Structure 1
Amino acid sequence: MTAFIFEFIGTAMLILIGNGVVANLVLKGTKGGDLGWVGIALAWGIAVFIGVFVSADASGAHLNPAVTIGLATAGKFSWTLVPGYIVAQVLGAMMGNLLVWLNHKKQYDATEDPAAILGTFCTSPAIRNPFWNLVTEIIGTFALVFGIFFIAGGSVGSESISLGALDALPVALLVIGIGFGLGGPTGYAINPARDLGPRLLHAILPLKNKGNSDWNYSWVPVIGPIIGAMIAAFVFSLVS
């Protein structure tokens, strides 16, 4: 139970900081409107650092269904724990974005652009093409999960691996690198919970000018990361 609780807490912290900076950038009436893409990429790295550091020792700091599924696929994590971890991650992501909304409540009320509002909850592609958007999410998540296998101490013959507090910084740097190098086409969800949980919250909250939740695209940042994680697990199994 403790592991599930800390997956919830760690994921909530991840989204609070990560989507908090997006809200600070795109909503009307904030002082962070000049942050730009560099600010977003750096902030998401910091968000990952905080989420991993908080939850590492208690849960292994997956914070991401793709990481959980990737580890289980590689035989490094028990499949019996996967459903509980995923539920905790999605609920944690919803809680994190609820806090973002509360923190920026007046800015949400002042913002008239539905796309800007949606962007503080979930991702959307710069050029909408479901196949190539899917490819982008697969590649980005492959880079994330493949890197995590080695950062978390994966080695020949190891039965299980998990992130510790000391791994927070290298994982954060990995996410920053993915943001700078691979994130532009889709906003690099690379995490089904990070996109699905806040998107569900967007549909529920009484937001002014919120528009629709773009469910037609919602499958891409869920399926793409899962495929990318499973490919990473397969490749890691071949080389380790």
Structure 2
Amino acid sequence: MSHQQTGYQYASDPRADSTESDHKINAQQEHHFQRSHREPGQLELGLTEVAEGRTDVQRSVVASAGLDHSRFRSKWQTIRPDWLSAVIGEALGVFFFTFMGTAATALFVLSAVAGTEYGSFLNIALAYAFGIVFGIYMAGLNSGAHLHPAVTICQVIFKGFPISRAPLYIVAQIFGGYIGALCTIAINRTPIFAYEAGLRAAGESAAIFTSSGPAGIIALFPAAGRTYGDMVTNEIIGAFVIGLVIWANLDSQNIFTSPVNAPWAIGLAYFVVVSSQAPGAIALNTARDVGARFACASVFGRECFQPSKYTALAALTNIPVTIFAAGLYTFFLSDSRRPSANVSLSHHLEQDRKNQLAAESRHEELMLHRTRTGSGEKGGSLFRTITGRGAPKAE
């Protein structure tokens, strides 16, 4: 029995009398809404689309049509502001990170209250780790996946990211954290509000705004038994580790990373830090902390911003620490004279070759001046080359 091909056509389509092959060609060229059914042996549309083009997969995927290839999409892409996709990407990326982490925290806290004890700090750490991985995949192509105000500031300082766009990114990141935290409350509102009501009825309203209280599910509060010195140290070390890992994965000359494994390496860094340091209260990300704290205030009141000393600590400590980590990696661990990791980062190869040649030329120029004048001479050629100052005046 022969295989009968079927095709989708409108009854009013003037091409109804054309052959099936003509229909396929025209549908692809004119972005017709429908498409022909798949050929024998082709994989159907879906997750199998990631298999197309792989050398180890000798199967093709049926060509997509629909809105993916519609005139509407083409027209929309021509009028859509380029910053819009970036801003939405940043908001969605932080949303993933915040929602997954706070939802895991809700499971841990609420189950402990109910006496069932589902979840643990391990679950929370994994949720934050996978949240940041999925967020990077979601936002990477559109915004660069900063997903962190401190990373955006570092991009401005060290990479020349437009300073005019930085506020848009930071606001979008905080908004994503706000929505993510609200969604956690939305899916757990009944047990959360019951827990809150029980504490208020027992005269323990202050317990609401603790790390184990209902407000503490989404907002961060000081850890019991820890001094501010402990919590500052905890925040500094955690932010420093994550900042170094992020910047190492942004190094296009690093042969140990690639665009494929960088999201997972960064996610693993979050997992290690959260799983080991969360009991001491740790924020790590201003967008997650500030966004979730505003969400907390929207539901539980302004007490979510108390104590103000800890609120400032959680929101701001990671910013200078991340800048320091990026500076340390840039000036002490990386070298612009190294060749690009051309196998894993081929899209950077040409620019990195130019940068490498420029760095080598500059290095040779500085060494030549140093040889001629001597490095020990105060105000010598090396000093003047670096600072841009003129030659010393003759006596």
- Which TM-score bucket, shorter chain as reference? 0.7 to 0.9
The secondary structure found in structure 1 opposite 2:220 is coil
Deviation at 1:76, TM superposition (A): 5.2
User: Which residue identity is paired with 1:36?
Assistant: S
The verdict on how the C-alpha distance between 1:212 and 1:33 changes in structure 2, with shifts beyond 3 A counting, is: farther
What is the aligned partner in structure 2 of residue 198 from structure 1?
Answer: 292
The secondary structure found in structure 1 opposite 2:221 is coil
What is the aligned partner in structure 2 of residue 90 from structure 1?
Answer: 174
Cα deviation digits, residues 9-32 of structure 1 (max 9, x gap)? 111111111101101111267797
User: Which residue identity is paired with 1:145?
Assistant: G
Deviation at 1:80, TM superposition (A): 2.5
What is the aligned partner in structure 1 of residue 103 from structure 2?
Answer: 20
Deviation at 1:42, TM superposition (A): 1.4
User: Which residue identity is paired with 2:131?
Assistant: A
Quick one: distance in 2 between partners of 1:27 and 1:190?
Answer: 24
Comparing 93-102 with 210-219, which one deviates more in the overlay? 210-219
Comparing 75-84 with 105-114, which one deviates more in the overlay? 75-84
The secondary structure found in structure 2 opposite 1:79 is coil
User: Which residue identity is paired with 2:286?
Assistant: P
The verdict on how the C-alpha distance between 1:228 and 1:173 changes in structure 2, with shifts beyond 3 A counting, is: same
The verdict on how the C-alpha distance between 1:3 and 1:133 changes in structure 2, with shifts beyond 3 A counting, is: same
Equivalent runs, 1:1-240 vs 2, <5 Å: 1=83, 2-27=85-110, 33-75=117-159, 77-112=161-196, 113=199, 114=208, 115=210, 116-126=213-223, 127-155=225-253, 164=259, 166-186=261-281, 188-205=282-299, 207=300, 212-213=303-304, 214-216=306-308, 217-239=310-332, 240=334
Cα deviation digits, residues 114-146 of structure 1 (max 9, x gap)? 132122112223244334322321221111111
TM-score (norm 1): 0.86
Deviation at 1:61, TM superposition (A): 1.2
Deviation at 1:169, TM superposition (A): 1.3
Deviation at 1:105, TM superposition (A): 1.1
Structure 2 stretches lacking a partner, 5+ long = 1-82, 200-207, 335-395
1:15 touches 1:93 (CA, 8 Å); kept in 2? yes
1:12 touches 1:92 (CA, 8 Å); kept in 2? yes
Quick one: distance in 2 between partners of 1:67 and 1:100?
Answer: 25
Quick one: distance in 2 between partners of 1:109 and 1:184?
Answer: 24
Quick one: distance in 2 between partners of 1:185 and 1:143?
Answer: 16
User: Which residue identity is paired with 2:154?
Assistant: G
Quick one: distance in 2 between partners of 1:220 and 1:233?
Answer: 20
1:93 touches 1:194 (CA, 8 Å); kept in 2? yes
Aligned-residue Cα RMSD (Å) equals 2.4
Quick one: distance in 2 between partners of 1:133 and 1:195?
Answer: 15
2:247 touches 2:329 (CA, 8 Å); kept in 1? yes
Structure with the largest fraction of helix: 1
Quick one: distance in 2 between partners of 1:229 and 1:50?
Answer: 22
Comparing 12-21 with 74-83, which one deviates more in the overlay? 74-83
The alignment-based identity, stated in percent, is 26
Deviation at 1:97, TM superposition (A): 0.8
The secondary structure found in structure 1 opposite 2:317 is helix
The verdict on how the C-alpha distance between 1:87 and 1:193 changes in structure 2, with shifts beyond 3 A counting, is: same
What is the aligned partner in structure 2 of residue 159 from structure 1?
Answer: none
What is the aligned partner in structure 1 of residue 79 from structure 2?
Answer: none
Deviation at 1:235, TM superposition (A): 0.4
The secondary structure found in structure 1 opposite 2:146 is coil
User: Which residue identity is paired with 2:219?
Assistant: C
The verdict on how the C-alpha distance between 1:222 and 1:61 changes in structure 2, with shifts beyond 3 A counting, is: same
Deviation at 1:181, TM superposition (A): 3.2
Higher relative CO (Cα under 8 Å, sequence separation at least 6) belongs to: 1
Q: How many residues are matched?
A: 230
Structure 1 stretches lacking a partner, 5+ long = 157-162
Quick one: distance in 1 between partners of 2:138 and 2:175?
Answer: 17
The verdict on how the C-alpha distance between 1:166 and 1:26 changes in structure 2, with shifts beyond 3 A counting, is: same
Quick one: distance in 2 between partners of 1:233 and 1:80?
Answer: 21
The verdict on how the C-alpha distance between 1:48 and 1:33 changes in structure 2, with shifts beyond 3 A counting, is: farther
Quick one: distance in 2 between partners of 1:45 and 1:52?
Answer: 11
